[in-house]
Structure 1
Amino acid sequence: MAVVGIGVDVVDVARFEATLARTPALRARLFTTAEASLAPRSLAARFAAKEAVAKALGAPGDLNWHDAEVVREESGRPRLVLRGTVLACAQAHGVTEVHLSLSHDGGVATAMVVLDG
């Protein structure tokens, strides 16, 4: 297996929460129904994950935000589910495995994505 791409993103939780309050429609545009009901720090981490996967794919501008969804496995481990535009781009790059790490501390949410092929 070879690394196809790596992406990292950092989000200020308070700033992100203020943006969502100022522009309520943004929540529905960025997040799936399952994601949208989560707390602001979890949303910030999920937004960071979506940005990180886009960066790992070379930041194409035609990706749909709902096509990268962060789900939680039974163990609590976060996992990225790719579909639609994001899945098509990942497949075009030869991606066969997606690794995700999320963290929040001190008002900052961070995500790292590694794509293997």
Structure 2
Amino acid sequence: MIIGIGTDLCVVSRYKAMVERRPGIEERLLTEAERGLSVESRAARFAAKEALAKALGSPGGMRWLDCEVVKSADGAPRFAAYGSVAARIAALEIGRIHLSLSHDGGYVTAMVVCES
């Protein structure tokens, strides 16, 4: 059964401008491993986390650094969740989270489906 869905669209140039305008913001949004990626991939991780928050009902108290976009053995993106995000996933009895990312023409999009 689907528990929640979330989508997000991020304009890479706007993400880059935000990072330049607000030094230190990426340290609050992205894990160390995520910060080492290209700007397009960092924007995609930001969009993925936004989409996940929407799929989880956007509750307060979740920390950005409590989830990370990682690659599964076959190269597909997936979430690793810790702390506040893992607690929300457990509270909703979510058994599987699907994540799809796409980059094209200066845009990145993320789609998340949470199911029990």
TM-score range, shorter chain: over 0.9
- Equivalence for 2:33: 34
> 1:115 offset after TM fit, Å?
0.4
Structure 1 runs of 4+ aligned residues shifted over 3 Å read: none
What's the RMSD between the two structures over aligned residues?
A: 0.8
> 1:23 offset after TM fit, Å?
1.1
- Equivalence for 2:23: 24
Separation in 1 of the partners of 2:115 and 2:30? 25
Separation in 2 of the partners of 1:76 and 1:20? 27
Worse overlay, 91-100 or 69-78: 69-78
- Equivalence for 2:97: 98
Secondary structure, aligned partner of 2:15: helix
- Equivalence for 1:64: 63
Secondary structure, aligned partner of 2:18: helix
The answer to whether the aligner puts 1:79 opposite 2:78 as a matched pair is yes
Aligned letter for 2:46?
Answer: F
Separation in 1 of the partners of 2:54 and 2:111? 10
List alignment gaps of at least 5 residues for structure 1. Answer: none
Q: Percent same amino acid at aligned positions?
A: 50
Q: Structure 1 length as normaliser, TM-score? A: 0.95
Separation in 2 of the partners of 1:61 and 1:42? 26
